[in-house]
Structures are given as structure tokens and as C-alpha cells.
Homo-oligomer: A and B are copies of this chain.
């Protein structure tokens, strides 16, 4: 294996816990499972994460969360009109959910739902991820021509409906919730864009004028 392809033990531990969180949630998994999945000695987990399970789970949520928000420009940029882009993203999510065999598409949301009342440190890590999504999403939609408050409202609504649709869709083994959510977002963005356009904003800017989400 080349130097560049090798992963550190720390990275392997974070990937392992991310996958375990996706399938089993937080409470069901043990540090023993994590080290076994990462093929790492128990001592290495506590070496890299002295606070153990809660700390490595927080790191996994941050890492997954940072990757997910990169999908926003990837999904939106190809469409010049946001009124097309947003519903298309929900259609794409529905396709991915079904093709994956109803995989958990967002452990950040499910773990947050599971532990919000019982694990304050992990809840704060999930909140940090969600605040970052909202901040980057607001910047993205603002760069595409929406006024700041409308841009923020839109990304909050998108994240909210997406998380809910993942839960209902996985439970019901159905793409219907994502399609219903997509239609709701289509209606909302139509209203937001109309309102912004009335005020003279140019909402459907060209893709090349949009800065990357970083």
C-alpha cells in the first residue's frame, strides 16, 4: 500500500464508529465493537480519544457532517434555477435511499434524535454540525441571489424536511416522504424566489458566480 493510501489508526477508528452509528445508533455500540471494526487495539482508542465513546462519536458526527454539506453545491450547481435545483435534490435523495436498500443517510440526525436528552456533550457536537450546515447553506443560497434571511429560512427548511423524510422513508421503506417533502420545498422556494424577485434581486445567478462551500 502506498504512503498516500494508508490510513492512520485514528482515521480508521472514526470511520468504524461512523458506520456503527449509522446502523446501530449510539447507545447500542461499545468501544470493543469500535476497535474490532477498526482492527485497532483498545488502547489506541483511549490514546486518541481519552474521553472514549462519546468523544469518538462526536468526532464521527463532525467528520460526516462536514462531508454531507459538500453535497449542497454538488447537487445545486448543475441547475441554474433554484426552483429546479431544490426539488431535484430531493428526487436524487429518494433514488439514493431506495438504491441503498434504505440505508441511514444521516447518522447526525438519528444520533441527535436518540441522545438529545441524555448525552449533552454529543448533543452539542451534533448542534455544532447543524449550525455549520445552516451557516454554509445560508451563504450558498445568499450567493445564488436570495436575501440573507430568506437564504437561511430555506436551508433550515431543507435540512428539516430532509431529516424527517429520511426517518419516515427508512421506517416505511418508501420514497414517498422524500417526494412529499420535495413538493413542499418546491412550493416554499417558489414563494421565496417570487418574493425576492419582487424586491429586485436576481435569484437564479449563474453557477460560475457561486463560491464553493468550504
Contact = CB atoms under 8 A, between A and B. Distances in A.
Interface of A: 22-28, 102-104, 109-110, 112-118, 123, 126-127, 130-131, 153, 156-157, 159-168, 170-173, 176-177, 180-181, 183-185, 187-188, 190-191
Contact of A168 (B28, B160, B177): B160
Given A118-B25, A171-B126, A187-B191, A180 B160 contact: yes
A116 B163 contact: no
15 contacts: A22-B117, A104-B116, A116-B167, A117-B170, A130-B168, A156-B177, A157-B183, A157-B184, A161-B164, A161-B184, A162-B164, A183-B188, A187-B187, A187-B188, A190-B191
A167 B104 contact: no
Contacts of A116: 102, 104, 167, 170-171
A176 B153 CA distance: 9
Contacts of A117: 22-24, 102-104, 170
Nearest to A25: B114
A173 B127 contact: yes
Given A113-B171, A131-B172, 10 more contacts: A25-B26, A25-B114, A104-B113, A104-B116, A110-B113, A113-B166, A116-B170, A156-B180, A184-B185, A187-B191
A46 to B, nearest CB: 22
Contacts of A130: 168, 171-172
A161 B177 CA distance: 9
**Residue in A22, A25, A170 with the greatest tally of chain B CB atoms within 10 Å:** A25
A153 B127 contact: no
